[in-house]
Amino acid sequence: MTASHSDALVLFGVTGDLAHKKIFPALYALAKTGSLKMPIIGVALEQWSLKQLHHRVTDSIKRAGGIDDQAALRHLLSQLHYVSGNYNDESTFTGIKMAMGHARRPAHYLAIPPSLFETVIKALGAADLAKNARVIVEKPFGRDLASARQLNRVAQSVFPNDAIFRIDHFLGKEAIMNILYFRFANSFLEPIWNRNYIASIQLTLSEDFGVRDRGAFYETAGCLRDVIQNHLFQIVALLAMEPPATRDFAAVHNEKAKVFDAMRPLKPADLVRGQYAGYRQEPHVARNSDVETFCALRLFIDSWRWQGVPWYLRSGKYLATTATEVLVQLKPPPQKLFADSLPTTCRPNYLRFQLSPTSTIGLAARVKRAGKDFVGDQQELFLIEEQPGEESPYQRLLGDAMAGERSLFTREDAVEAAWAVVDPVLKNHPRTHRYKRHSWGPKAADALIAPDGSWHNCKPSKLGP
């Protein structure tokens, strides 16, 4: 398959929440840049008119930030088509063909429940809609190792491997891409970026809200599947990978895949699961549910660079704040010259990456106070990386997928290797601990990290000193 640009976008699940919250604003942003020059065929079961779809798209863009370019909005709406039908019905795909007109290189975006991925992919093959086409598959790609392998087999039976785009919107975030750049564009980091100087690394992805209207989905997924196995593991790979030989996407993916292969499979003792108070009263949630809305785990990467360094990952709903942050905990100085800098009295130096709500890199160092006594305080030097006019993750990833640019999409072997790490604890795991809303999760998570210190609880950075 050549890397020619897609000439149509077929959006399955066009009436759903993902399209409304993320995809329509991304298409509007592409229209504003003049790069949306193709028909967009929305597909869903609902019997909507094109006018209803126009209203839905307009409402989405208004909610996402407002309409500041009427010409771009008119252009986007003019490109829209709508096909109503069941994904098991052959006539639905006949309708898609007709709506595509003269387009011959479509990109099929599956913004639908994962249970329907195989159905739609097989139907695209049967309808001869996979030739010269691409398929964009939303996460989760499978729900365990076996289902991920099965989905890969089905996708590859219909599409060439280089036409399958496994999307994880985290990889399109500017702050996530900056991890790769910061690591390998600066020479001062490499000498200390290993087990000799780093004591532990912790990642937190916290949200201060609950499952909202996603109770039914969360009952089938849980926090480990929804966030940690994909989003946080991708961040771990960028932090832990060896320098790629080139910036070519294949070289980067090769090094990331090696990290997943080196991850030690999890054991139940490495895992703490929590559930916020009141989760069982959410709509579409079982009254005796043991699904986790919080998950903390201890991970090891058995490589030369990281042998013995614990990685602590946690994520959850209804935590104290909404933020994503990495804390790289450095080892204390080898000689204890100053009593106030002992690990028992303060946190040693660290490097901090805040990925959201602002993009920040911070370095903590101790500074002596004025006076004769050799005592000091730990101060943090930080750089706010936020830049105006950044592309949204979905704008970037949609544009890349339609252009055939694969660097920000996950690869088959990496997906399966990541599932292999969590597979042992998907069913064999401890029961959930109840935790209060707007806390930092169950106390058991503190006990998990206690041998190596304590959690760094995120505080959103503010501009200025």
Cα dihedral 393, 395, 396, 401 sign: positive
* Distance (Å, whole) CA 377 – CA 366: 5
Tokens of 394: 């979905």
Q: Are 395 and 33 in contact (CB under 8 A)?
A: no
Q: Quickly tell me which residue has 């779809």 as its tokens.
A: 53
Tokens of 204: 């937190």
Which of these, 339, 331, 225, lies nearest to 271 by C-alpha position?
225
Backbone angles phi, psi at 59, to 5 degrees: -60, -40
Q: Quickly tell me which residue has 């780093």 as its tokens.
A: 198
Q: Annotated catalytic residue: which of 231, 429, 438, 456? A: 231
231 included as an active-site residue: yes
Sequence-ordered alpha helix ranges (H) in 127-187: 145-158, 174-185
β-pair partners for 106: 8
* Distance (Å, whole) CA 461 – CA 465: 10
* Distance (Å, whole) CA 82 – CA 77: 11
Active-site residues, by number, are 231
